[in-house]
Structure 1
């Protein structure tokens, strides 16, 4: 059985590889804005899980039976801060405003997960869920914030920060699963894999210990 990660995120791939799994990466091509616009009244958890499922499903349909029996993982992360669910800021001005608002406060990193088991006959089993981790933000100085924005990192990540990169300097702590903040919750994925009949240790690509 082949594991497929339906995500372009290098951070998610790094988390899985560090945990002994080396998935095939297939980037999903979905219109996230359109998908969210179709469910305006959904909860934050429902929104990110909907996007995760759409990504995994799109990849499953695209690859068909190319890789035989596969299990696919789709994820989507957003930050709930000040009652607003936000994704990637994409431009420095938006990222700057977000950091000014969340500095010294907290936010909830919400990641939707979808695990699909697929064979030549199509998608056989689906398991979905979400994980939430509270993030306590530091207060970068104006000079530090401008340097961080200039790095480009906060423009392409959910909530305009990372835990495992340059943004880690400005995170005071977290309450919950650290891997979820990086973009994929290992404990949740293990449970979702079990729900579709896959034991995570069978996917390990190298000895551990």
Structure 2
């Protein structure tokens, strides 16, 4: 049985590889903005879970021919601050505004997860869930923030920060699962796999 990661995130791939697996990576083409616009009243946790489910479903249909017996994992992460759900800033000005609003404060990194089980090329079971981890942000100086924005890293990641990269210097602490902040909660994925009758150890490619 192959493990398929429906995500372009190198951080998620790194977490799964460090945890003993070697996923096939297939990036979905889900229109995230359109999906969110179609569910304006969904709560934040539901929104990230809907995105994860859509990504997993899109990829499952695409890989079924090459990997008829597989587990497909889709994820989507966003940061919740003051009731506002924010994703990747995309540009330096947006990232700067976000950092100025969250510096010295706490946000919640929400990651939706969807796991689909393929057998004989068809989805036979699926399950989903979300994980939330509190993130306590430092207050970077103006020079530090300029330098961080200059790396380009915060422009490409949910909430304009990372835990496992340059952004880790500006995170005072977390409350909850650290792997969830990186983009995929290993404890939650293990439970979701169990719901489908799959043991995570059977997906390990090395000890």
TM-score (norm 1): 0.98
Contact 1:179/1:185 (8 A) holds in 2: yes
- Tell me by how many angstroms 1:67 deviates: 1.2
> Which residue in the other structure is 1:189 paired with?
189
Q: d(CA) in 2 for partners of 1:131 and 1:91? A: 27
How many residues matched?
207
Please list every run of at least 4 consecutive aligned residues from structure 1 whose deviation after the TM superposition is greater than 6 angstroms.
Answer: none
- Tell me by how many angstroms 1:62 deviates: 1.3
Q: d(CA) in 1 for partners of 2:3 and 2:197? A: 13
Contact 1:3/1:70 (8 A) holds in 2: yes
SS at structure 2 position matched to 1:67: coil
> Which residue in the other structure is 1:33 paired with?
33
SS at structure 2 position matched to 1:93: helix
**Post-superposition CA distance 1:80-112 (Å, at most 9, x none):** 001100000000000000000000000000000
Q: d(CA) in 2 for partners of 1:81 and 1:104? A: 12
Matches of residues 47-196 of structure 1 in structure 2 within 5 Å?
47-196=47-196
> Which residue in the other structure is 1:4 paired with?
4
> Which residue in the other structure is 2:21 paired with?
21
**Post-superposition CA distance 1:133-179 (Å, at most 9, x none):** 00000000000001000100000000000000000000000000000
SS at structure 2 position matched to 1:107: strand
Provide the aligned C-alpha RMSD in A: 0.7
Q: d(CA) in 2 for partners of 1:19 and 1:138? A: 29
SS at structure 1 position matched to 2:155: helix
Unaligned runs of 5+ in 2: none
Unaligned runs of 5+ in 1: none
- Tell me by how many angstroms 1:121 deviates: 4.6
TM-score (norm 2): 0.99
